[in-house]
Amino acid sequence: MKFTVTIDQFEGPLDLMLHLIKENKLDLFDLDMNVLTTQYIEFIHQMKDLHLEIASEYLSELASLIEYKSKKLLPREEVQVEEEYEEDQRTKLVARLVEYQKYKEISEKLRIDYENRQKHFTRPVSPLVEQWSIPIESDTLENQSPYELLKAMNRVLQRMILLKPYETKVTIKELSVEERLEQIKERLKDSNDTILFETLCDDCSSLHMVIVTFLSILDLIHQKWLDFTIDSEDHIYVKRGIE
């Protein structure tokens, strides 16, 4: 199969897998691992033939898929021993893909909201940044609903866009969610402070980077590496979780 896309058009291996699932009209919730594995391997081989650099995260997923495929080729008497492991591997991958798809849908909604707001606002309002930098007086953060977090993030994004116009064009050189996640972990690893979400976007030059930062924080909250809280004005605060 000749692929019409290249690896630098994807944010990571899960993004690539979702593309392959869509292109092959596979059911995400009843995933045919054999088809997905074959297509993924073929895609990576084609990228290598084009002498394109392939990030280690793609190769790591490739190794897992090859392991899955090799176990399917075991003699029948050995298959029963492996079936439970294979189903568990498949279930975990589907869960990761579903979560990543949710992140993509959120980012797309935020992008559309931003473009719609651009039609109504021609210049930024007076910044009141100092009121956003006041830390909450709390030693512990009580997790609230992820749905509330998404609603608050939508409002936070509106405020941020009004204060600082962002470039809407997304380039392939932008950081992936995985790379941004590691940057945030490095920044917060030795801190016990409660931090306002906006301060984590100080280095964001594009709307894409703001969204990637938010998705990275969602992932860290899911991992329980971060806790979060939302105040009455929809300001989002994050803090290192209890390990």
pLDDT given at position 243: 58
pLDDT given at position 16: 92
10-residue block means of pLDDT along the chain (243 residues)? 78 89 92 91 87 81 82 58 69 86 74 60 40 36 58 71 54 69 90 86 78 84 85 82 69
pLDDT given at position 73: 64
pLDDT given at position 172: 42
CA distances, 66 to each of 16, 59, 71, 212 (Å): 16, 10, 9, 29
pLDDT in tens, 77-117: 555 555 666 677 888 899 889 888 887 777 677 667 656 65
pLDDT given at position 35: 92
- DSSP character at residue 25: T
Burial 195-220 (b: 16+ CB within 10 A, else e): bbbbebbeebeebbbbbbbbbbbbbb
pLDDT in tens, 50-74: 777 787 888 888 888 888 777 766 5
Burial 139-158 (b: 16+ CB within 10 A, else e): eebeeeeeeebeebbeebbb
pLDDT given at position 49: 81
pLDDT given at position 25: 93
Contact assessment for residue 227 and residue 183, using Cβ atoms and an 8 Å cutoff: no
pLDDT given at position 20: 94
